[in-house]
Structure 1
């Protein structure tokens, strides 16, 4: 079970617990700073509105336990709120505007740059943030010269043997994947008796999809009556544990790789 603000991520690698002297003296040549960005929004009648932010914090906490002791990988306080206006009007949803979230992330990046850091990872666990954060990442790269990365743990394709193809494509909100993970992390936070299955009626389309091929703009009430997309009835804590183990194994290695990445090497390598 996940316990907030315990473990290596928060006791050893939580950047704000250091003094200004300690931050100034950190070796920053191969340092990566991670900003977790989630959401507080409705996830149907069975899941907490904290779902996305919870998964982000817990996944980062677990991944940092697997990072080598000499790695210069640092964690910032998470941004729990995201751009969730596709859920506005459904109880429990608290959304930032696109401009507010962009301003927050950009200001944080500018501050890190002023402290001498060169690499920032935007660690995102809310689908509604994805397009905006990719735009922000490039804008920060252009304005600051920092190396900026974007990563969504759910995109690591670790559940292909755990769920059917329909769920992998359309179970994007409160379905099997997210429900399984929260059942593993915080079982008491899931109201299991209210779990349902709801899939969008996309089978009649050859090209139109929710998040691939040809997309259309939608808000949750356009595509779901229950507030979820996916099969929450199939979720188990055991699947959630497997997902988290696989994801955090990958992340620990990925963080180390990102901390050594030099974007200038691309030009040199391709000459």
Structure 2
């Protein structure tokens, strides 16, 4: 049986374990609330459909274990489902519509702001959520005044020297990176006898890429017969442990910075105002 919300991080920093009076009494000035957002979607013949949610919770657990106990950083229950309609041709995928996901995130964030918190992290582990959550973050900044931050394990750049050039280009789903992580987090859930290498044929194309500056719209069945993209045959648990450790360390440092960030300090004075002041 897979147990969620385990470990010291979830015991000490799980916001819903508090009473409403305890939450009201929390100092909000330097508080940071984290909403993990994943997906339940196919990850090839070798990986569980819970891969994205699993990775997010593991990275957060290891990162928060590195923080000082007195830190004012809090976890919300993870939102395991995401916008995954690009994977619906494969059984087991459970997708929210764009409007449903945006509505959920908006309602949760609005409630966080209503409780007096000023900072919210959207910690996302599914690429298909990215564009939508960026839009939601901007709208929330406008509608609630929250400082909204967007983070993902892939943005932490923890595997840049561990993956082949081919994998960096094409390993976007259930490839070496994700498979290595799940091998380290929950090895019994990886079917090592079904590891697959699948690379798209983009030969002859000079401008189009899957995720570059010139993209084309696709669903997974357009570009992959297995449901995976990348080379999971290169994955190892040792590599996954290293990626997990690096992700956690970088994330812990980032969270410390976000917890005290003030958006009002970013805007610089107009050039003419600076010249008068400096005269």
Alignment TM class, shorter chain as reference = over 0.9
1:202 deviates by 2.4
- Distance change >3 Å, CA 47–CA 269, structure 1 → 2: farther
Quote the Cα distance in structure 2 between the aligned partners of 1:256 and 1:139: 24
- Measured after TM superposition, the shift of residue 130 of structure 1 is 0.4
What does residue range 34-183 of structure 1 map to in structure 2 within 5 Å? Answer: 34-183=34-183
Based on CA coordinates, which of the two structures has the bigger radius of gyration? Answer: 2
Q: Which residue pairs with 2:14 in the alignment?
A: 14
- Contact preservation (8 Å) 2:89, 2:221: no
* Alignment partner, residue 262 of structure 1: 262
* SS of residue paired to 1:35: strand
TM-score, reference length from structure 2: 0.94
TM-score by length of structure 1 reads 0.97
Specify whether residues 269 and 34 from structure 1 end up closer, same or farther in structure 2 by C-alpha distance, changes over 3 A only. Answer: farther
Cα offset for 1:3? 5.3
How big is the shift at 1:68? Answer: 1.6
Equivalent residue number for residue 277 of structure 2: none
- Paired with 1:243 and 1:21, the residues of 2 have a C-alpha distance of 39
**Long gaps (5+) in structure 2:** 275-279
* 1:202 alignment counterpart: 202
CA contact (8 A) 1:38 1:56 kept: yes
**What is the number of residues matched between the two proteins?**
270
CA distance in 2, matches of 1:131, 1:57: 21
Cα distance between partner residues in 1 of 2:37 and 2:176: 22
Per-residue CA distance 1:119-149 (angstroms, 9 max, x = gap): 0000000000000000000000011111000
Pair 1:264–1:74, CA change in 2 (3 A): same
CA contact (8 A) 1:4 1:58 kept: no
Give 4+ residue runs of structure 1 displaced > 4 Å after superposition: 268-271
Q: Quote how far apart the aligned CAs of 1:109 are.
A: 0.5
